[in-house]
Amino acid sequence: MSSTGATLVIGATGTTGSRTAAQLIAAGHRVKAASRRATPVPGAEPVRFDWGDPGTHADALDGVDRVFLIPPLGDSDPASVMVPFLRRARAAGVRRAVLLSSSAISEGGPAVGMVHQALPGLFDEWAVLRPSWFMQNFTGAHAHGESIRADGTILTAAGAGRVGFVDADDIAAVAVRALTDDRAPNAGLVLTGPQALGYDDIAAIVTEVTGRPVVHHRLTHEQLRDRLAAFMPLEFATLLADMDRAIAGGAEDRTTGTVQLLTGRPPNGFRAVAERELNDPVSA
């Protein structure tokens, strides 16, 4: 996609946004790195952005013709703030929008699914990335990573269900192609790693890589919902617990060839990511 404008990366300090910004910059693209505190990002123009503060939106959109959208964290109705922003973005000259959604949420479904539904009516050039669960959930600041480091446990209501866990580096690589290729995907793209794994499998691999025992504890749907509701709204906690119940029923037991199709290389496997990101023994 030939362009003289910049790409606005919302959530540019987060797991996916930071990787997307870095890969865009490495490829020679101009990036405006949006975050609540306008945190500096090497090679990018930092800009303050808050979904809940429309006063930050105009400066963020100035000089932008593409935008990478990460929804507001923990919001069960992101469309209420995102769709007005997208209308404003279109009026400001944005031509292409790429949305980060989830493989667990279909077009027109709950939460970001409503934004997915609206996107094709707002932009002629668009894509919705629907990654499976992130491999970085076990290596970073996610609750799974924290419980692994704290007491060697992974707590889910997913039972023996399997998931095509995907590397955030691969998600970012697809995002870059969706943002910059001459032709936009104009589609929802389900992204997975090369293999569907159960949480017992994940625990075994982390144990082997780190040398510290890690086990998967199986919770009921209600137990997981109540644990999550202690630090997030009940509606969103229920949504997340419902996703685990869907995993238990086989909803995420799949792999796709989308990463290879768009990037020209196979997706990274979980063992390789664990070795890359957990190269020192996990400590409390």
CATH number at residue 59: 3.40.50.720
The verdict on residue 206 lying in a domain is no
Instruction: Please say if the pLDDT value at position 282 is more than 50.
Output: no
Q: How many domains does the chain have?
A: 1
The verdict on residue 229 lying in a domain is no
Q: Which band of pLDDT confidence, cut at 50, 70 and 90, is reported for residue 284?
A: very low
Which is more confident, 110 or 196?
196
The verdict on residue 240 lying in a domain is no
Which is more confident, 2 or 284?
2
Per-residue pLDDT tens digits for 92-144: 999 999 999 999 999 999 899 999 999 999 999 999 999 999 999 999 999 99
Spatial distance between the Cα atoms of 208 and 199, rounded to a whole number of angstroms: 14
The verdict on residue 27 lying in a domain is yes
The verdict on residue 25 lying in a domain is yes
Instruction: Please say if the pLDDT value at position 188 is more than 90.
Output: yes
Instruction: Please say if the pLDDT value at position 280 is more than 70.
Output: no
Average pLDDT, the chain: 95
Q: Which band of pLDDT confidence, cut at 50, 70 and 90, is reported for residue 281?
A: very low
| Spatial CA neighbour of 83 closest among 95, 101, 74, 71 | 71
Domain that holds residue 74: 6-131+167-191+255-264
Per-residue pLDDT tens digits for 49-92: 999 999 999 999 999 999 999 999 888 899 999 999 999 999 99
Q: Which band of pLDDT confidence, cut at 50, 70 and 90, is reported for residue 270?
A: very high
The verdict on residue 69 lying in a domain is yes
Q: Which band of pLDDT confidence, cut at 50, 70 and 90, is reported for residue 279?
A: confident
Per-residue pLDDT at 4: 73
The verdict on residue 204 lying in a domain is no
